[in-house]
Structures are given as structure tokens and as C-alpha cells.
Copies of this chain bind each other. A is one copy, B any other.
Amino acid sequence: MADTATRTPIDFSTHPDRYRHWSIDVDGTIATLTMAVDPEGGLRDDYELKTNSYDLGVDIELYDAVQRLRFEHPEVKAVVVTGGLDKIFCAGANIKMLAGATHEHKVNFCKFTNETRNSIEDATAHSGQTWIAAVNGTAAGGGYELALACDEILLIDDRSSAVSLPEVPLLAVLPGTGGLTRVVDKRFVRRDLADAFATRNEGVRGQTAVDWNLVDAIAPASSFAELVAGRANARAASSDRPDAAAGVELTPLEVSITDDRLAYSNVTVDVDRGLGTATFTIAGPGTTQPATGEALVAAGTDGWLFATARELDAAILHLRFNETEIGTWVFRTIGSPDAVATAEDVCAAEPDHWFVREVRLFWARVLKRLDVSARTLVTLVEPGSCFAGVLAELVLVADRSFMLEGTWEDHDEPPPPATIRLTAANGGWFPMSNHLTRLRTRFWGRDESYVAASGLAGKDLVAADALAAELVTFTPDDLDWDDEVRLMLEERNSFSPDALTGMEANYRFVGPETMETKIFSRLTAWQNWIFQRPNAVGPDGALQRFGSGSRPDYDHRRV
């Protein structure tokens, strides 16, 4: 299969001035985000993005827009997403793009689009910024799934515009960007109607779409704008976002990228191709950090807390798409635990300040990206590190952690022994997709141990303490450290990456499941399976045959 996507590094940075597919129009408390995809603007040149179909490049712009609306526009209380082409809202993921993509690109593309749609729901639920879909034309497949991520779906009633999920009948794949899950678990569409809906190419329109609860309201063209404005204003009226605050401009991230190194200001990533590892080194704050919300705004993208989240986010996306053979991510920190704890204190001091809240919610989303990254996560807690509060989440996120007992023996002036410090941050600031904290998840089913560990908040725990509190996996001393860590990394690199991905995806989400975890487990895992099946991706499969004039040839054996 042709695939240039994995050869040219994918760049996730963009700016509204450079958007080719979206435009943002802010009018008072309402923003309108309009999709008008440039057919020639695809990431690869073997497909055209016709009829508002999208590829990763289109979704990178959408993600950028979501971020800018939250950070640069505190005054925006409702976001209307709509289509900018005649009679078309959005046609979903481009089929030729899917047909020509590698398996890992398809899977990562879906994961990223899912994360962006989850972030739209996060804005509605936690940020006072309600998303509304103004479906002013056909919304097919991923187009309807984009609408499903909004809190309200308004459909134009013009006898032609329909919502549909035609993936199963037309393409032999699933509506895998949350569609199946949200239809039944968010909109509570009855399962047999949902079945009828998702097997009907032409979809459902008009009053039936309302009756089946596929949309919230319909209006003819003559009053559609009025309906949309009315709903947007109503939702904006109940928002707790500030009326007159200045936003924080998302300045371009500065990064130096060389063959084996990615260097931002606070986050550096070193790739070891022999070992299959990428080592993230995160530097704690080197200067005094803002203590109030307004000071945090004034620091803008230079503040350590916000800058580090942005850099970590960018590094994760870069590695996922551009370094697929690097299967293990190792996390290290350098700095002062006190400085980290002080830097995050602003979240406790002014939790309801709009920008403080946004920074905290952003950290939560970045950490969730790690939970669903198909990479082994290893954290090394060494002397001189600063795993406190927000950075202690990197210990809890890991599949395996090592903490050095004692300090380096061969240093003339060895740094003090490594410590871990839990803070209020670990008690609820960054819930996982399962709606539990990482600390609660770690102690699932063992309440006593959970209470004991939680009770250590504020204390600097050395290796023996952290081991006793069950916060780390192993605590080798200086004599064993290098061998033990290297052995683990070499061993990991010798295993099948697929088996590791499946194992990690099962272990990381213990306890309750939520709509989000269902999307990343049940729905995504089935979609990944289907993305391997000849009926979808084989030479006679539906993705290859689509648009060729000849029908796919299916192997009818069921599992």
C-alpha cells in the first residue's frame, strides 16, 4: 500500500492564518467554526479531499482551533460548527486516504480524531464552552460523528440533508470515531433503530431524525440560522466563562528536531533506535512561577506549567506518528520537587480562574493521551529528579517504574536521593478516561492501600517509602540500576509490539468503563481488527473497491 504519510514527518503545528480547511469567526460570545475543505490540501497527493472529507491534516487544524478557542478566547461561551460547502456539512474521513494508508497510520489517525472529539466534549462539560453542530447539509460517517461530539445537533430540514453512518454497508469498516458508542450511550438511540440507521446508506433526515433522537431539532432553511443562533445564545447564557478577559495567545512552539533528538524548552526527547526507546526528560521550573491566575495569564505560553503541557503534547503526537518503531517511552525529570509543587499551587489557589482551569484541563488531556498511547511507558525516578504532583502522574501513568534506592555512588557530589511527592494534584486534578484518578486506578479494589498512599501526600518519599506505599515497581540501588533498567528495556524491545499493545490496553483501564474508555477499547479494538481484515482492506475489499465500479468480494465466514 502506498503511504507517504509515514515518510514525511507530520507536523502538528499550525495557525488560523495558515488554515486551508477551516475558518474561525468570533462574534461576541459565539464562535462559528466553518469547514470548507480544500480538495487539493491533503497530506498525501494520491487523493482529493472532495465534499468536505478529511484526512489527518484537516483534523490537525480542527485540533488547533479547539485549543485556540479555549485559550485565546475566554469570551467564547458557545461554538457552532458548520459546513461551508453547498448542501454539505461533512462527508467524514476520506476513503482513498484510508485505502492508501498503512495500518498504523489508520489506527493513529483514528486515535487522534477521537481525542479531538473527546476534547470537544471536555470543553462542553468542564470549560463552559458548549459545542453545537449546525448541520446545514449532509453529515455522513465521520461528519455525523463530529456532530455527535457536540452537545446539540441541529439539522436543516430541506428534504435532502441527512445524517448517516454508511461505513458498514459502503466501506465494510465501522464508524470508528465514537459513532457507534455515542449513538447508543450518549444519545440513547434504541439499539435496533441504531442498527437500522447504521446499515442505511442514505441515512435519516427530517422528523424521523428527531424521532430517533439522532438530532435534537430541525428547521427549514428559512429559519435554520435563527434556530442555531437561538440555541447558541441560550447555551452561552449559562456559561461561567468570563465576559471580558484577555486570552492567552498560543505562540508557536520552539523546537529543535534532529535525527534522534527533539528539544523544546522544558521537554527533551532522545531516541535510541537500537533499544527502541524515546527518553523524555522534563525539566522542572527554573524560575519563580506565577502564584495567581492573572499572573499565569501574564506569563502566557512562557509559564512552566502551560509550556510543559504544550511541549509534552507535541512530543507525544510527533512520536506516535513519526517514530512508529520506537516502542518504549521512558520518562525522566530533572529539577526541584519544591519548584514543581509551587508551580502547580496556582491550581489550588484559584481553581475557578478560567485560565488556571484551562491549563489544568489541558494537563488532564495530555496525560490521557499517554494512557491510550500504544507504547510501553517506563518511568525512572533518579536522584536529582522532581516527581512531585503533576509530574508524579508520570510515575502513576507508567506500565513499570524504577526508583533508585540511595544515590549515585560514583559522583563526587551526588545529588540527594530520589523522592516522590504526592500532592493535591494526584487526588483529582487529572482524572483518567475511566473517571478515576491514576492513584485510585492503581489501588483499584484495595481501599486500605489507597487510603494509606493518599495519606502520604505532601511528604517526600524516598525509595523505601515509595516501595512500601506501592507507588513504584522496583527500587534497585546504584549497583544494579543500569543492568536492571537496560535488561527491562532490551526485553521489552524483543517482544511483539502488537501483543504489548493489547496487554497494556487491558491493564491500564481497570474498574469502571465510561463512554470514553468504551470508545478506546470496545470500539477501537474492533475497528483495528476490521482494519486488518481482507473484507475491508484486501485487494477485493470494500475500501479498495470503493468508487471503482466493481463491488467488493466478501469472505462470508463469521467469527
Chain A residues within 8 Å of B, Cβ to Cβ: 102-104, 107-108, 167-169, 171-174, 180-181, 183-185, 188, 190-196, 198-199, 276, 324-327, 374-375, 398-401, 441-446, 470, 473, 491-493, 495-513, 517-518, 521-523, 525-530, 532-533, 535-536, 541-542, 552, 554-559
Contacts and interface: CB of A to CB of B under 8 A. Distances in A.
Most buried by B among A108, A470, A521: A521
A463 B184 CA distance: 24
A interface SS class: helix
B172 A398 contact: no
B496 A552 contact: yes
Nearest to A443: B190
Contacts of A181: 506
A498 B504 CA distance: 25
Contacts of A503: 168, 174, 180, 195, 198-199
Q: What's the number of copies of this chain in the assembled complex? A: 2
A499 B168 contact: yes
Contact of A400 (B168, B195, B325, B499): B195
Nearest to A106: B559
A399 B533 CA distance: 23
7 contacts: A168-B495, A326-B558, A496-B536, A497-B555, A506-B526, A513-B513, A521-B525
Contact of A529 (B199, B445, B529, B535): B529
Contact of A192 (B172, B473, B542): B473
A253 to B, nearest CB: 24
Nearest to A500: B168
A399 B192 contact: yes
B558 A507 contact: no
B512 A526 contact: no
Contacts of A198: 503, 507
A156 B196 CA distance: 55
Given A530-B502, A559-B528, A513 B512 contact: yes
B559 A374 contact: yes
A184 to B, nearest CB: 5
Contacts of A188: 444-446
Contacts of A195: 399-400, 503-504, 507
B499 A530 contact: yes
A499 B172 contact: yes
A499 B558 contact: no
A59 to B, nearest CB: 17
B536 A525 contact: no
A199 B507 CA distance: 13
Given A172-B495, A192-B398, 19 more contacts: A167-B499, A172-B498, A173-B499, A174-B503, A180-B507, A184-B510, A188-B444, A190-B442, A191-B399, A191-B442, A192-B401, A195-B503, A198-B503, A324-B559, A325-B558, A327-B558, A374-B558, A497-B535, A498-B559
B502 A559 contact: no
Nearest to A555: B497
A199 to B, nearest CB: 7
A213 B181 CA distance: 34
A498 to B, nearest CB: 4
A557 B502 contact: no
A522 B506 contact: yes
Given A168-B496, A195-B503, A530-B499, A522 B525 contact: yes
